[in-house]
Structure 1
């Protein structure tokens, strides 16, 4: 039986992005060896959206996206997309230290992670 999910973020600077998850977000982690950190994530859910081609997106969920943006900005994070309202909630996108991006959103729909 499937008992979890493992998310991989590919990065041009994995050390910096690992430091972000460890130091800025404060996520608990294990060291799989040689500084290869694997982080415990908050509860999760998966949605399947229509698309013209295969793609994946990682969004971290929060209760108040604007307050979270303000807090992360105060910790030096850069947002490349401001908070915008979308049909299913409010969303912003931050720039990871390694150059990638990460979505942050406040759902305005029933959430599955509480099931």
Structure 2
């Protein structure tokens, strides 16, 4: 039985992004060898959206209070690239990783799946 998932974020500066996950987000991690950090993620969920063809996948961090989390991360020097907007199903924003990539973050307002 499948018991988890592994997310990969490609980066132009992997060391800077690893340091961000380690030092700013303070995610627990292990060193898989040679500084290759593998981070423990909080509980996750997956959604499948319709598309006309194969495309890029997206990653969103989730939080309980998007305004408080934006304030906390901004105080740590995180650059937000989109103001918080209300999409009905949640309040969302985007922020820049040190390596130049962007990820989303949202406060869900939809029903959440329970433990399997």
TM over 0.5: yes
Q: Residues of 2 paired with 1:70 and 1:85: CA distance?
A: 17
TM-score normalised over the length of structure 2 = 0.94
| Aligned-residue offset at 1:88 | 1.2
Unmatched 5+ stretches in structure 1: none
Q: What is the aligned partner in structure 1 of residue 44 from structure 2?
A: 44
Contact 1:22 1:28 in 2 (8 A): yes
> So what's the TM-score if we normalise by structure 1?
0.95
| 1:17-28 pair list within 5 angstroms | 17-28=17-28
Q: Distance in 1 between matches of 2:33 and 2:114?
A: 30
What pairs with 1:49-60 in structure 2 (closer than 5 Å)?
49-53=49-53, 54-60=55-61
Indicate conservation of the 8 Å contact 1:31/1:38, yes or no: yes
What is the CA RMSD across the aligned residues, in angstroms? 1.1
Deviation of the 1:90 alpha carbon: 0.3
Shift in Å at residue 113 of structure 1? 5.0
For 1:18-51, what per-residue CA distance to the aligned partner results, in whole angstroms no more than 9, with x for missing partners? 0010001110001011110000000000011122
User: Partners in 1 of 2:14 and 2:85 — Cα distance?
Assistant: 28
**Per the alignment, do residues 29 and 92 of structure 1 end up closer, same or farther by CA in structure 2, a change over 3 Å counting?**
same
| Count of matched residue pairs | 115
Distance 1:52 1:66 in 2: 34
Residue 56 of structure 1, CA deviation: 0.8
**Deviation of the 1:114 alpha carbon:** 4.4
Q: Which residue of 2 aligns with 1:79?
A: 80
